[in-house]
Amino acid sequence: MAPSLAAEVRALVSRLDRDQRLWLSGFLAGLESQTQPAPAPVSVPETGRPAVTVLFGSQTGNSERLAKQIADRLTERGVRFALLDMLQCNKSHLQDAQHLLLIVSTHGDGDPPERAVPLSELLAGRRAPRLEHVRYAVLALGDSSYEKYCEAGRQFDARLEALGAQRLHPREECDVDFEAPAARWIDAVVGKLEQSLGTTQPRLHVDPADRRTASVSNAYTRKNPFAAAVLANQHLTATGSTKDVRHIELALEGSNMHYEPGDSIGIVPRNCEQDVDALLERLPFAAESPVPADAHTTVPLRQALIERFEIGPVTRPFLKRYAEAIRSSELAMVAAASDEEISRFMRGRHVADVVAAHAPGGLEAHAFARLLPPLAPRLYSIASSQRSTPDEVHLTVSIVQYESFGRARRGVVSGTLADLTSEDAVLPIYLHRNPAFRLPADPQTPIVMIGPGTGVAPFRAFLAERAEAGAAGRNWLFFGDRSFEHDFLYQAEWLELRKRGLLTRMDVAFSRDQSSKVYVQHRMLEQGAELWRWIEDGAYVYVCGDAQHMAPDVHEALLKVVAEHGGLDEEGAAEHILGLQQQRRYQRDVY
């Protein structure tokens, strides 16, 4: 194929959404198998909006079968429709829907089928989209010998109505002998659809891309953060894990915030009030003592300690300043000790612990406060693509918790997240751009992603972005954590991406599942030949996560792979990797 033609095809394909691409691939396959050229001219619609969206929620297959019957009827009539398992249906499908047909059964004790639970939660929650633009009809399957007959269908019906959708046709409830009533309902609904599609003008369609580029504004900063509602705060680690890692979803609606995969979100911290009060108990100052906030204003000490100063683990500069201020030669000696000694001293030692042992004699409240380091925002890699979840940003947060000096400690920000319970929690956030960590511009370029632990977060964003863009480049992910069963972050999603062919390869290392510790760098070495081949094919290599141990070990492994399979000596390998870095083909975001 001529390069220009290829580019044209690519450009065309990149404008299609997933269903259209699926349709196109089927269309092409159909062409292949026919001896005659394609019969009818086919026009690729401008937008991917189906006229009818058929959603089914099924446990044992009855509803699914009925949904397929409807799909057949719509195909016969040439109606453009989308047929979706409720598990695959996300907010944008609902926003794009015009006519929504729902077929759902009831299970358990009046519950929706398992695969319908996420959608029913979406519709019931605060993230539910308004559906004034939708006309819908519900077919409910059930069994009248159960107490809550067709309950799931009833609930969906009520929720859609509450969200503003208009009923196209009344709900039908079908007992175990559902075939006949279902057929009647289908006839009636198809009839009404024909009427409705015949008369209504196609509504102006707002493409999500337009919505996004309409106005790009990132006015929010650490000083002036955006109050993002917390939409989800779920455990990613299973009960029994040695860790607690959360998947956090925040609402961006109304912020005009526009991020790209690779960016981070800054969260403005607040110290936990109990910790501040515990510190105040050990200080000889009144909680209201004035502390300067800027050149002109003061705030009470307690508030300053909550909002402005780091009171957690101490640092060497703080120890130095504090020793000097209180004239403690003992502390001054500690502060001057070797790196090794002082890090042993500092480990888990908070400001309150130091103050308890060395009272701030002779200091004023404001003078003491000035010694403390400022409370810095915490950054979290963005784990979502705005293209697939336009009004949301997702984070992957490992909760810091440990015990030291007889007290249970929590990280300032991650601890806050762990304790969030209220339905209407908000977090002060801002966008932290990271242009040094970006997908290759060419969607064909293969990428290798190395992200153990929470380091995997940006790669979830990368893959979502590539999926959404229809990027054809190969994707290889290395992931590691402690235990396969408990700590395989986003496992279900990776499996789904692999099934869809988007995740070309994935290698995993679970350090505690066998007697010898295995980490991602070991997997890289095992796959060295193949890894080298990818690099030779132009792959970009990304590393994200722990800066202390992981990043150097991974770098080491990469050097080895390049040396061994590229036939280079140590120096040559280092040079080669430097070259990759300069071409931006080796990017790291480590912390």
Ligand X SMILES: Cc1cc2nc3c(=O)[nH]c(=O)nc-3n(C[C@H](O)[C@H](O)[C@H](O)COP(=O)(O)OP(=O)(O)OC[C@H]3O[C@@H](n4cnc5c(N)ncnc54)[C@H](O)[C@@H]3O)c2cc1C
- Regarding 519 and contact with other proteins (CB under 8 A), the answer is no
Instruction: Give the shortest CB-555-to-ligand X separation in angstroms.
Output: 17
The secondary structure of 61-124, three-state, reads CHHHHHHHHHHHHHHHCCCCEEEEEHHHCCHHHHHHCCEEEEEEECECCCECCHHHHHHHHHHH
Instruction: Give the shortest CB-142-to-ligand FMN separation in angstroms.
Output: 2
Angle of helix 457-469 versus helix 491-499 axis, rounded to 10: 30
Coil/strand/helix, residue 217: coil
DSSP for residue 37: P
For ligand FMN, the closer of residues 69 and 256 by Cβ is: 69
With CB under 8 A as the contact rule, the residue among 13, 16, 117, 547 that binds other proteins is 117
- Regarding 85 and contact with ligand FMN (CB under 6 A), the answer is no
- Regarding 59 and contact with ligand FMN (CB under 6 A), the answer is yes
From ligand X, ligand FMN, other proteins, none, interface partner of 142 (C-beta below 5 to 8 A by class):
ligand FMN
Coil/strand/helix, residue 576: helix
Site for ligand X in 269-328 (CB under 6 A): 269, 312-313
From ligand X, ligand FMN, other proteins, none, interface partner of 396 (C-beta below 5 to 8 A by class):
ligand X
- Regarding 491 and contact with other proteins (CB under 8 A), the answer is yes
From other proteins, ligand FMN, ligand X, none, interface partner of 369 (C-beta below 5 to 8 A by class):
none
From ligand X, ligand FMN, other proteins, none, interface partner of 113 (C-beta below 5 to 8 A by class):
ligand FMN
- Regarding 447 and contact with other proteins (CB under 8 A), the answer is no
Instruction: Give the shortest CB-221-to-ligand X separation in angstroms.
Output: 16
Euclidean distance between CA atoms 516 and 219, whole angstroms? 49
For ligand X, the closer of residues 289 and 389 by Cβ is: 389
With CB under 6 A as the contact rule, the residue among 45, 110, 181, 313 that binds ligand FMN is 110
Compute the CA torsion angle 165, 170, 175, 179 (nearest 10 deg): -100
The partner residues of 264 in beta bridges, in order of sequence, read: 381, 432
Phi-psi region of 444 (alpha: psi -120 to 50; beta: other; left: phi over 0): alpha
Site for ligand FMN in 125-144 (CB under 6 A): 141-143
Q: Which residue has the tokens 């989308």?
A: 82
From other proteins, ligand X, ligand FMN, none, interface partner of 454 (C-beta below 5 to 8 A by class):
ligand X
By residue count, the chain amounts to: 591
Instruction: Give the shortest CB-549-to-ligand X separation in angstroms.
Output: 14
Coil/strand/helix, residue 212: helix
Site for ligand X in 335-374 (CB under 6 A): 347-348
For residue 463, count other CB atoms closer than 10 A to its CB. Answer: 25
- Regarding 109 and contact with ligand FMN (CB under 6 A), the answer is yes
Q: Which residue has the tokens 């859609």?
A: 160
- Regarding 384 and contact with ligand FMN (CB under 6 A), the answer is no
Instruction: Give the shortest CB-65-to-ligand FMN separation in angstroms.
Output: 8
Which residue, among 471, 260, 264, has the nearest Cα to 386 in the 3D structure?
A: 260
| CA atoms within 13 A of residue 12's CA, in its CB half-sphere | 12
- Regarding 114 and contact with ligand FMN (CB under 6 A), the answer is no
- Regarding 61 and contact with ligand FMN (CB under 6 A), the answer is yes
- Regarding 475 and contact with ligand X (CB under 6 A), the answer is no
For residue 431, count other CB atoms closer than 10 A to its CB. Answer: 23
Q: Cβ-count burial of 24 within 10 angstroms (0-12 exposed, 13-18 middle, 19+ buried)? A: middle
- Regarding 233 and contact with ligand X (CB under 6 A), the answer is no
Coil/strand/helix, residue 73: helix
Binding mask of the shown chain, residues 57 to 96, with x at each position contacting ligand X by CB under 6 A: ----------------------------------------
- Regarding 493 and contact with other proteins (CB under 8 A), the answer is yes
Residue count at the site for ligand X (CB under 6 A)? 25
- Regarding 149 and contact with ligand FMN (CB under 6 A), the answer is yes
The partner residues of 402 in beta bridges, in order of sequence, read: 409
- Regarding 480 and contact with ligand FMN (CB under 6 A), the answer is no
Is 520 within 8 Å of 511 (Cβ atoms)?
no
- Regarding 120 and contact with ligand FMN (CB under 6 A), the answer is no
Euclidean distance between CA atoms 103 and 193, whole angstroms? 16
Residue count at the site for ligand FMN (CB under 6 A)? 22
86 Cα distance to chain centroid = 20
Look up residue 134 and give its two tokens.
């939708």
Look up residue 575 and give its two tokens.
């040079």
Residue numbers at the binding site for ligand FMN (CB under 6 A): 58-63, 105-110, 113, 141-143, 146, 148-151, 178
Residue numbers at the binding site for other proteins (CB under 8 A): 60-62, 108-109, 114, 117, 143-146, 176-177, 179, 234-239, 247, 484-485, 488-495, 498, 506-508, 513
